[in-house]
Amino acid sequence: AQQFIWPIVRLGDVVDDYERAKAAGGRVERVLSRSPTIRDGDDASPLSVDSGAVTYDHVDFAYDDRSVLHDVDFSITGGQTIGVVGPTGAGKSTLLKLLPRLYDADAGAVRIDGQDVRDVTLRSLRRAIGYVGQDPFLFYGTVRENVRYGTFDASDAAVEEAVRRAQAHEFVENLPDGYDTLVGERGVRLSGGQRQRLALARTILKDPAIIVLDEATSAVDTETEALIQSSLAEFAADRTTFVIAHRLSTVRRADRILVVDDGRLVEDGTHEALLREDGLYANFWRVQTGDVAALPREFLERALE
């Protein structure tokens, strides 16, 4: 029994939003079944974060026999904000799940400041990375406890500051008991966008060197998203930030945008450069700005497949 329980306890120990979301979705078996391979190596040492540079070195990845990433190869300068876009199912989430080692690459390597993620302790790796997903998990407890999760020594003022930065202060104040309102299962029901904002606040409070926002603002309206972006800009300024988004306006101002299509990195550049390149990104931009008349026929045919 001890051995079976261990991974769960361990999970609670190094837990991050993603794992909790998974557990909440009843998919704990998968996390557990993968966990035997995702563990500290014998010589694991703590990750030493310098600028937060990230390198994917010819990475391949498959879920069992389903090949998802093919020879993905890129390097990110520490401190940059990187947009990651591409069609549904292209492999964007999978790509970034390799960073905190939710999965390991089958070939190639993922490195942070030159250190292979498989050579560092999971605890230090996940401490360094803040992951906010699309459907964040809130446990049954107060708003304050939920935001403080993982940063238990944070003061009430620090919690509130993080909540403000995530554009959540106003709605929290309007809950029946404000910051003491019970949320999560059996608690007050929050909308997807509200849960996303509390998860963002949790990550802001955690203060990680690297941030991964995986459709983290997909459920908030564009106006609130713009507010979140402007308050996150300062927070994200000196840390490596990955932003996966369907809404291209979310990543438009990124230092660099990676376009993933069918598990391959197909375009890479700033918004302006990608528009000039007039490829997949430019066509998505046309779709999202309503300039459909200008879409090339091949793109339309593919979209209608």
Q: Closest CB to ligand ATP among 88 and 155?
A: 88
Binder to ligand ATP among 7, 52, 83, 86 (CB under 6 A)?
86
Q: What separation in angstroms does the CA of 298 have from each of 247, 258, 287?
A: 22, 22, 14
Q: Which is nearer to ligand ATP, 97 or 165 (CB)?
A: 97
Look at residues 246, 270, 249 and name the one whose alpha carbon lies nearest to residue 258.
270
Are 253 and 226 in contact by the 8 Å Cβ rule? The answer is no
Asked if 213 interacts with ligand ATP (CB under 6 A), we say no
Question: Looking at beta carbons only, is 42 or 65 nearer to ligand ATP?
Answer: 65
Strand, helix or coil for residue 212: strand
Specify the residue, 30 or 276, whose C-beta has the smaller distance to ligand ATP.
30
Q: Does 37 bind ligand ATP (CB under 6 A)?
A: no
**Smallest separation (angstroms) from ligand ATP to the CB of 32:** 13
Q: Please report whether residue 88 would count as binding ligand ATP according to CB under 6 A.
A: yes
Q: Least distance in Å: CB of 17 to ligand ATP?
A: 16
The correct pick among 31, 47, 68, 254 for binding ligand ATP (CB under 6 A) is 68
Q: C-beta of 156: minimal distance to ligand ATP in Å? A: 36
CA 208: distance to chain centroid?
Answer: 12
Site for ligand ATP in 89-128 (CB under 6 A): 89-94
CA distance 54 to 50: 11
Query: Strand pairing of 81-85 and 240-244?
Result: parallel
Distances (CA, A) of 8 to 14, 44, 145: 10, 21, 21
Contact 286, 280 (CB under 8 A): no
Number of chain positions touching ligand ATP (CB under 6 A): 11
Q: Select 93 or 224, whichever has its Cβ closest to ligand ATP.
A: 93
Q: Which of 6, 63, 139, 140 binds ligand ATP (CB under 6 A)?
A: 63
- The distance of closest approach from Cβ of residue 176 to ligand ATP in the complex, given in angstroms and rounded to an integer, is 34
**Helical residues (DSSP H) of 130-252, grouped into ranges:** 143-148, 156-165, 169-173, 192-206, 222-236, 248-251
Radius of gyration, alpha carbons of the chain: 20
Answer for the pair 118, 288: CB distance below 8 angstroms, yes or no: no
Q: How far is C-alpha 21 from the geometric centre of its chain's CA atoms?
A: 12
Minimum CB distance to ligand ATP, residue 85 (Å): 9
DSSP letter at 151 equals: -
Binding region for ligand ATP (CB under 6 A) out of 61-69, 203-211, 285-293, 295-303: 61-69
Residues that bind ligand ATP (CB under 6 A): 63, 66, 68, 86, 88-94
